[in-house]
């Protein structure tokens, strides 16, 4: 809840690394950062609730935030996970509508809030920003389609897709296969895959039965990367 005149270094860094206005002048970015209301929140804090009008938008300075729906049957559908440098609800601000999702801090986090008008002012002053905005928005739309795509898959496939991505990014090669650390509680993973721990557990068991992977504690060894990838892309591998 602290607003200050001198800009916190981490806040400034966050603004500088934000894709939205990467075409803006350094001065404009600094000005944006200076006008932000910076808050530090604990994990689990609600940042926005579905239906709220978007009077301001945010920028994640540190930590992670999660945009999600509460599905009809109580399960949460994660829409997007935002990290340091990612904008938060900027789209809603641009569209001038109400929040269509809930947003909460997925970890302890630092968030900088700006009035929506700041974004419009920036567009006014530096029209070239529009270009990067358009690119970002377009990509966002395309990415959202993949959220929907993922939801259309069953849980083992969603898990396979997730593991495949993880393996690509941070897999350690071993004689047996690519090895990855889950690095979080299974329950949290379940949440981010839009399911519950029990079902996730069964999904792991299924992939193991099918010979795609091996697991020991929270270490997963992928035996058949190919099959994992094709499962995760939604093409059945009969």
For residue 17, give every residue at least 6 positions away whose Cβ sits within 8 Å of its Cβ, in sequence order, or none.
Answer: 84, 85
Helices (H) and strands (E) in the chain, counts: 9, 12
234 near DNA (CB under 7 A): no
Q: In this complex, which beta carbon is closest to DNA, that of residue 135 or of residue 215?
A: 215
Window 140 to 199, contacts with a second copy (CB under 8 A): 140-142, 144-149, 151-154, 157
Q: In this complex, which beta carbon is closest to DNA, that of residue 1 or of residue 236?
A: 236
Q: Which two tokens stand for residue 111?
A: 């968030």
CB of 124 to a second copy, least distance (A): 10
214 near DNA (CB under 7 A): no
232 near DNA (CB under 7 A): no
Task: For residue 116, give Cα distances in angstroms to 36, 53, 68, 106, 122.
Answer: 11, 11, 21, 23, 10
| CA gap 53, 50 in Å, rounded | 9
Total of residues contacting a second copy (CB under 8 A): 41
154 near DNA (CB under 7 A): yes
| CA gap 147, 142 in Å, rounded | 9
Nearest in space to 120 (alpha carbons), one of 215, 20, 204, 212? 20
Window 155 to 194, contacts with DNA (CB under 7 A): 155-156, 185-187, 194
Place of tokens 């200076």: 34
CB of 3 to a second copy, least distance (A): 27
CB 122 within 8 A of CB 21: yes
Q: Which two tokens stand for residue 64?
A: 């992670």
Q: In this complex, which beta carbon is closest to a second copy, that of residue 151 or of residue 184?
A: 151
203 near DNA (CB under 7 A): yes
CB of 104 to DNA, least distance (A): 16
User: Bridge-partner residues for 115, per DSSP?
Assistant: 56
Residues binding DNA (CB under 7 A): 73-75, 153-156, 185-187, 194-205, 215, 217-218
Residues binding a second copy (CB under 8 A): 69-73, 75, 77, 79, 91-92, 94-95, 97, 100-101, 123, 127, 130-131, 133-135, 137-142, 144-149, 151-154, 157, 234, 236
């Amino acid at each position: 809840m602290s607003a200050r005149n001198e800009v916190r270094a981490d806040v400034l860094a966050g603004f500088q690394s934000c894709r939205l206005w990467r075409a803006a002048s350094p001065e404009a970015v600094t000005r944006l950062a200076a006008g932000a209301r910076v808050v530090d929140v604990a994990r689990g804090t609600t940042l926005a609730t579905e239906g709220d009008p978007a009077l301001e938008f945010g920028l994640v300075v540190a930590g992670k935030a999660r945009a999600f729906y509460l599905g009809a049957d109580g399960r949460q559908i994660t829409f997007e996970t935002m990290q340091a440098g990612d904008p938060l609800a900027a789209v809603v601000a641009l569209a001038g509508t109400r929040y269509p999702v809930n947003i909460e801090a997925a970890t302890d986090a630092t968030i900088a809030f700006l009035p929506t008008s700041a974004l419009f002012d920036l567009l006014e002053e530096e029209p070239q920003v529009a270009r990067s905005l358009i690119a970002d928005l377009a990509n966002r739309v395309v990415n959202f389609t993949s959220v929907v795509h993922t939801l259309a898959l069953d849980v083992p496939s969603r898990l396979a897709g997730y593991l495949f991505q993880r393996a690509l990014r941070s897999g350690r090669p071993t004689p047996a296969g690519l090895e990855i650390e889950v690095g979080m509680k299974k329950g949290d993973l379940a949440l981010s895959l839009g399911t519950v721990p029990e079902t996730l557990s069964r999904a792991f068991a299924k992939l193991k039965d099918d010979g795609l992977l091996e697991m020991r504690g929270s270490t997963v060894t992928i035996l058949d990367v190919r099959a994992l990838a094709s499962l995760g892309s939604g093409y059945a591998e009969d």
